[in-house]
A = this chain, B = another copy of it.
């Protein structure tokens, strides 16, 4: 592991020297190679699929694992899109000339070596590696053990293409961890002198395990317990559309709503209406006492303390009546996961209070929580979403895969 990390660090120094044009040429060559090398990738994938079938993976897991021509073309398309995005490295973030004439510039730079830990989908290999590569970072990839042959094949095809393009291309720029032992990852994430960042992608359990054991910084996305608060001054038609969209349009994703908070001022009107619409969409409601007092639907499941913390990722919704915007904010800051939360209101003062005091990565006024996404934010691509506060927060695209350095240009200045 030490040798692997050391090689990645060395590769990251070489990567940092590539020009934008060189990086883009590599990405386009990699995309073409993925399409042309589809057979080798499918062969490796067949090994994983056979082993997965034998070990009794579920149909859903096997489906996620499978690579066909369409999925390979999808990876290639992703690489071409990354090539088309602006280079996040070398942006001038700040310039200041000091009274002594020293010119200071804050410049975006690659982070260095980024470890990506993920689960079964092998296409993450191409996505993550291409985003890290475009931002000048060396990547160490550790996917699910069930996808090991597929992941290695994808990385090999990408690297071979890059080396063909540039014979000096650092061959350790994209590395797939060979071993699937847990101890190896722990060892890797203790190498603070070589590894700069770890981004685990997957379920809360995986992320907690990585964060617990890592000595290198970890950017975390624990879960998306997202809220919509329908205020007493809401346009109820708009509120209905936003609530339905946030819950139903794609319930299995992190930016879907999990808890609906309704101001007691409009609960008697709004709750029965929205409950009916949600039930029509097969959403199971788990409601607090005040909601049930209004709804009076027989056999409605009461919400427990655990429901307020729950990330259902399913057609289930916790519902609570609150006493105005302050109680809504308090509920979200206490039970939420600091991901995405929305207020629906016509009242600017309440909206501003909600936007200011809700301590989440992304807060909305009169919009669905479903917009928290690199693509929707105009980042072009997304490597993940951060619910952390140090480093990137919210959707992470190419810029969020960079750090910065200060450059001081003088003419002999010394300190007096």
A366 and B409 in contact (CB under 8 A), knowing A390-B390, A415-B245? yes
CB-CB < 8 A to A238: which residues of B?
412
CB-CB < 8 A to A368: which residues of B?
410, 413-415
Question: Does A215 interact with chain B (Cβ within 8 Å)?
Answer: yes
Question: Does A22 interact with chain B (Cβ within 8 Å)?
Answer: no
Question: Does A73 interact with chain B (Cβ within 8 Å)?
Answer: no
Question: Does A227 interact with chain B (Cβ within 8 Å)?
Answer: no
A407 to B341 CA separation, bound complex (whole angstroms):
10
Q: Does the CB pair B211–A390 fall under 8 Å?
A: no
Q: Which residue in B16, B362, B406 is a CB contact (below 8 Å) of A408? A: B362
Q: Does the CB pair A102–B415 fall under 8 Å?
A: no
Task: Quote the shortest CB–CB distance from A345 to chain B (angstroms).
Answer: 12
Question: Does A217 interact with chain B (Cβ within 8 Å)?
Answer: yes
Q: Does the CB pair B405–A361 fall under 8 Å?
A: yes
Among the stretches A48-56, A125-133, A160-168, A352-360, the one at the interface with B is A352-360
The residue of chain B having its C-beta at the shortest distance from the C-beta of A407 within the complex is: B355
Within A236-266, the residues touching B (CB, 8 Å) are 238, 241-242, 244-246, 249-250
The residue of chain B having its C-beta at the shortest distance from the C-beta of A93 within the complex is: B93
Among the stretches A26-34, A146-154, A369-377, the one at the interface with B is A369-377
The residue of chain B having its C-beta at the shortest distance from the C-beta of A237 within the complex is: B412
Q: Does the CB pair A409–B362 fall under 8 Å?
A: no
The residue of chain B having its C-beta at the shortest distance from the C-beta of A89 within the complex is: B356
CB-CB < 8 A to A17: which residues of B?
356-357
Question: Does A203 interact with chain B (Cβ within 8 Å)?
Answer: no
A367 and B102 in contact (CB under 8 A), knowing A362-B405, A378-B96, A390-B196? yes
Interface size band for A = 35 or more
CB-CB < 8 A to A413: which residues of B?
366-368, 371
The residue of chain B having its C-beta at the shortest distance from the C-beta of A362 within the complex is: B406
CB-CB < 8 A to A364: which residues of B?
407-410
Task: Quote the shortest CB–CB distance from A210 to chain B (angstroms).
Answer: 12
CB-CB < 8 A to A241: which residues of B?
412, 414
A388 to B245 CA separation, bound complex (whole angstroms):
41
The residue of chain B having its C-beta at the shortest distance from the C-beta of A241 within the complex is: B414
Q: Does the CB pair A367–B403 fall under 8 Å?
A: no
CB-CB < 8 A to A415: which residues of B?
245, 249-250, 368, 370-371, 376
CB-CB < 8 A to A296: which residues of B?
none
A370 to B394 CA separation, bound complex (whole angstroms):
36
A408 and B367 in contact (CB under 8 A), knowing A98-B376, A104-B377, A111-B390? yes
Q: Does the CB pair A367–B410 fall under 8 Å?
A: yes
Chain A to chain B contacts (Cβ below 8 Å), 19 pairs: A13-B333, A13-B357, A102-B367, A109-B359, A196-B389, A211-B215, A217-B217, A217-B391, A241-B414, A242-B412, A245-B414, A362-B405, A362-B407, A364-B409, A366-B412, A371-B415, A390-B390, A390-B391, A390-B403
Q: Which residues of A contact B (CB under 8 A)?
A: 13, 16-17, 96, 98, 102, 104, 109, 111-112, 196-197, 211-212, 215, 217, 219, 235, 238, 241-242, 244-246, 249-250, 333, 355-357, 359-368, 370-372, 376-378, 388-391, 393-395, 403-416
Return the 7 tightest CB-CB contacts between A and B, nearest first: A367-B410, A245-B414, A370-B415, A238-B412, A217-B390, A364-B408, A390-B391
Contacts beyond the supplied A360-B405, A367-B408: 12 A-B pairs with Cβ under 8 Å:
A197-B389, A217-B391, A245-B414, A362-B406, A362-B407, A362-B408, A364-B410, A366-B411, A390-B390, A390-B391, A391-B391, A393-B405
